[in-house]
Amino acid sequence: MRLTRYFLPVLKETPAEAQIVSHRYMLRAGMIKQASAGIYSWLPLGFKVLRKIEDIVHEEQQKAGHMPMLMPTIQSADLWRESGRYDDYGEEMLRIKDRHGRDILFTPTAEELITDIFRSHVSSYKDLPLTMYQIQWKFRDERRPRFGVMRGREFYMKDGYNFDLTKEDALHAYNRHLVSYLRTYERMGLQAIPMRADSGPIGGDDTHEFLVLAETGESEVFYDSAVTDLSFGDRDIDYDDKAQCAAIMEEFTTKYARTDETHDEALFNAIPAERQRTARGIEVGQIFYFGTKYSDAMGATVQSPDGKATPVHMGSHGIGVSRLVGAIIEASHDDKGIIWPEGVTPFHCGIINLKQGDAEADGACETLYASLTALGLEPLYDDRDERAGGKFATMDLIGLPWRITVGPRGLKNGVVELTSRRTGESKEMPPEQAVARVAEIYLGR
């Protein structure tokens, strides 16, 4: 993509309503535009990042054996009355009447709808275990939407639901989700710590939130600093292996890590003083096991091996896909702009032409652009007739991990400059070597 043909409405000034880093940079980098309070249009650059995150979530969910589907954003109130949540959920639920006077709602979550789908089509234990998920827009009518996509009213979310015959099987699904989430977040360049949390309106006794440590986090968290030394890495996982998944669950949740709602001062004080930490955290996902809460209320049963009708054990598991865009920026930025991790960057590399219109510089940039594109990479070529300082400022703001700078002076010596956005380190090298280095970073070749 070339900047002269790309819609990138960069702002030089920070909008007054932006209170936190991610909101400021997403507006300034032309990623989003507010449509109304807590509701945003995702412009091309922001939409590319959103899709990169969504793709990672899909890949890791399907590796874990979970099946993608799609449910509507509008649900019947009757299902929620059946579960007992319609009146209990509170004012965050947007309740609507259609033209026939029927009560409907804009979905904040989909436990009722997925349970209705399950009970309509599954009747035997032989069809279990079963886990389905979707990535879909949700709406919660926040009293005070703020912080951009971090606390909006409309948001893009992965919500998954497991159905199992026994509690033991459902807790394996819980562990399986925790493992897949650890892989997901690390691929995005994040350390998201699973913390014992409160279940809120979803219900259930077992729940962990995944939190990214950041000064602007909404939640106060208490943890043993040893949890920040844990890394999932490139492990070979068999998601059907209950013992392996349980061992990873134990590894990542045994050390103390809790949100303020479940904080236990006595347990916290038992940690060696030098490892006690309090901080702020951004929630980017949550997993729940709630047993037969919904299957009892809605009659979701299967015939068990002994022939009896048995309510299924369930859990639900969410990842805040749109919120993750903001969380990554909160965790990875400097005073110049965003610093995208390689896994979610909207473009793999930026190309800056220091002298647009110079035949040699133009030709070198075109060759670089074609070479990177031929490898399946996506470069962003700043081919505008702008001053070099403005081009560098734009690239720093939008945060591409790597930048190739091309100018007449370097080309006389047969070199271009490859710069790391994260470290600021630059190296001069022949153009073909710069292409090879970028390919090595992203493609391993």
HEC profile of 297-361: HHCCEEECCCCCEEECEEEEEEEEHHHHHHHHHHHCEECCEECCCCCCCCCCEEEEECCCCCHHH
pLDDT for the residue numbered 73: 97
d(CA 231, CA 139): 33
Number of other CB atoms surrounding residue 242 within 10 Å? 15
Query: What string of DSSP letters covers 114-156?
Result: HHHHHHHH--BGGG-SEEEEEEEEEE---SS-BTGGGB-SEEE
Residue 102 CA to residue 85 CA, distance in Å, equals: 17
Q: Are strands 154-164 and 130-139 parallel, antiparallel or unpaired?
A: antiparallel
Q: How confident is the model over 375-392, as pLDDT tens digits?
A: 999 999 999 999 999 999
Bridge-based pairing of strands 379-382 and 349-353 is: parallel
From the list 432, 321, 374, the residue with the least C-alpha distance to 54 is 321
What's the confidence (pLDDT) of residue 275? 97
Nearest to 29 by CA among 407, 350, 362: 350
Q: Which residues contact 443 (CB under 8 A, 6 or more apart)?
A: 375, 376, 377
Determine the number of helices (DSSP H) and then strands (DSSP E) in the chain: 13, 23
Per DSSP (E only), the strands in 225-270 are 257-259
State the pLDDT at residue 13: 87
Q: Rounded to the nearest 5°, which phi and psi values hold at 120? A: -80, -20
The owner of tokens 């110079």 is 358
CB 286 within 8 A of CB 109: no
CB 418 within 8 Å of CB 402: yes
Give the containing element (helix H, strand E) for 431: helix 431-443
DSSP per-residue codes, 11-48: -SSPPTT--SHHHHHHHHTTSEEEEETTEEEE-HHHHH
Angle at 399 between CA 181 and CA 41, to 5 degrees: 75
- Evaluated on CA atoms 193, 195, 197, 199, the torsion sign reads positive
Q: What does the pLDDT read at residue 399?
A: 98
Any idea which residue has 């892989």 for tokens?
A: 183
Tell me the backbone φ, ψ of residue 89, rounded to 5 degrees: -65, -30
CA distance 32 to 272: 44
Spatial contact of 354 and 408, defined as CB atoms under 8 Å apart: yes
Backbone angles phi, psi at 257, to 5 degrees: -160, 110
For the chain, list residues with pLDDT below 70: 199-205, 445
Structure confidence at residue 200 (pLDDT): 58
Residue with tokens 């993750």: 324
In degrees and rounded to multiples of 5, residue 334 shows phi and psi of -140, -170
230, two tokens = 């844990």
The DSSP string of 175-228 is HHHHHHHHHHHHHTT--EEEEE---GGG--SEEEEEEEE-TT-SEEEEEEGGGG
Task: State residue 144's pLDDT score.
Answer: 86
Longest dimension (CA), the chain: 82
Specify the amino acid at residue 218.
Answer: E
pTM: 0.95
pLDDT for residue 203? 47
pLDDT value of position 143: 86
Q: Quick count: other Cβ atoms within 10 Å of Cβ 414? A: 10
- The owner of tokens 């949540």 is 85
d(CA 292, CA 109): 17
pLDDT of residue 215: 86
